[in-house]
Structure 1
Amino acid sequence: MSLVPRDSWFDFSHMFDHNFPTLRHRLDADVYSPRINIVEQEKNFEITADLPGVNKSDISVQLSNGSLTIEAVTKKDDQEEKDGKVIRKERYEGRLLRSFYLGHNIQQEDVQAHFTDGVLTIVVPKLEGTSSDSTNIEIN
């Protein structure tokens, strides 16, 4: 089971987001990768995404052929510029996108998502009877 994000090549987005957050904003102003945790439990996967400042109505979650895509949009706040001079602006405004391959041993119709206090939690049940145990293969 591969849980490597589809958008990562040595996870450059994580490197930029973690080490150079202001540089990342200048290099890739169109799309930002939110922070994600993926936990594999016995009967399901639990994906948690931090989406601070995002409204529930601006979030889209799609599951297609084993790939989970989380997309959200934050609105630009023009009020700050009307009330005074902006000295420093670090908060991201724009499109957030993250995609993962979870495999085909999932129950696509029973996926549940909840959004509370800027945290999106998605529970993806596994199909019963599938095993995620590894098997040693003898080399002849």
Structure 2
Amino acid sequence: MSLIPRDSWSDFYHLFDHAFPSIRPSFNIESFSPRVDVLDKETAFEIIADLPGVEKDDISVSCQHGTLTIEASTLKNEQKTDGDKVIHRERYQGKMVRSFTLGDNINAKEIYAEYQDGVLVVVVPKIEMKPDETAQHIKIN
């Protein structure tokens, strides 16, 4: 399986690491993608995503055209009392999306997810490829 994270926002964000360091702290695009670990186990791939502050009903996991997508949203809390003003805000509120390109050796119909204590675990079962189904090395002149 070629589990390659599709993280164009993070790639875009890293352009600013060296080019424009003065605006980096105020332009934090990385917040739009949840942090994930991808584990290659014997019978499945596991994608573990940190989704703090997200309710289970606000998470969507889908697989379409070979792409696994994790979407989650948190509600903006506008509760203020008279005289309160926000001095600094770091907690992300809004929609988060992360996508992964899946390979040919997975069983998309058997993918399942579990969510507990702000951590989402998506299990992508592998299927065993027959030797004639695997990619052959072809030299192109």
For Structure 1 versus Structure 2, the TM-score category normalised by the shorter chain is 0.7 to 0.9
Listed as ranges, the matches of 1:104-115 within 5 Å are: 104-115=104-115
Name 1:122's counterpart in structure 2: 122
Shift of 1:64: 1.5
Partners of 1:120 and 1:54 in 2: CA distance: 10
* Alpha-carbon distance change, 99 to 139 in structure 1, aligned in 2, over 3 angstroms: closer
Partners of 1:130 and 1:71 in 2: CA distance: 33
* Alpha-carbon distance change, 47 to 93 in structure 1, aligned in 2, over 3 angstroms: same
Report % sequence identity: 48
* Alpha-carbon distance change, 127 to 137 in structure 1, aligned in 2, over 3 angstroms: same
> Which of these two proteins has the greater Rg computed from alpha carbons?
2
Partners of 1:65 and 1:40 in 2: CA distance: 21
* Alpha-carbon distance change, 14 to 126 in structure 1, aligned in 2, over 3 angstroms: farther
Partners of 1:41 and 1:50 in 2: CA distance: 19
Partners of 1:35 and 1:21 in 2: CA distance: 18
Alignment RMSD: 3.1
Partners of 1:15 and 1:58 in 2: CA distance: 28
* Alpha-carbon distance change, 42 to 138 in structure 1, aligned in 2, over 3 angstroms: farther
Shift of 1:21: 5.7
Shift of 1:100: 0.5
Matched residue SS, 1:87: coil
Name 1:39's counterpart in structure 2: 39
Name 2:11's counterpart in structure 1: 12
CA contact (8 A) 1:61 1:69 kept: yes
1:23 and 2:27 aligned: yes
Partners of 1:12 and 1:106 in 2: CA distance: 27
Shift of 1:138: 8.2
Which digits, 9 at most, give the CA deviation of each residue in 1:93-114, with x for residues without a partner?
Answer: 1110010102122111211100
Partners of 1:15 and 1:130 in 2: CA distance: 40
* Alpha-carbon distance change, 128 to 23 in structure 1, aligned in 2, over 3 angstroms: same
CA contact (8 A) 1:13 1:33 kept: no
Listed as ranges, the matches of 1:91-110 within 5 Å are: 91-110=91-110
* Alpha-carbon distance change, 76 to 48 in structure 1, aligned in 2, over 3 angstroms: same
Number of aligned positions between the proteins = 132
Structure 2 portions without partners, runs of 5+? none
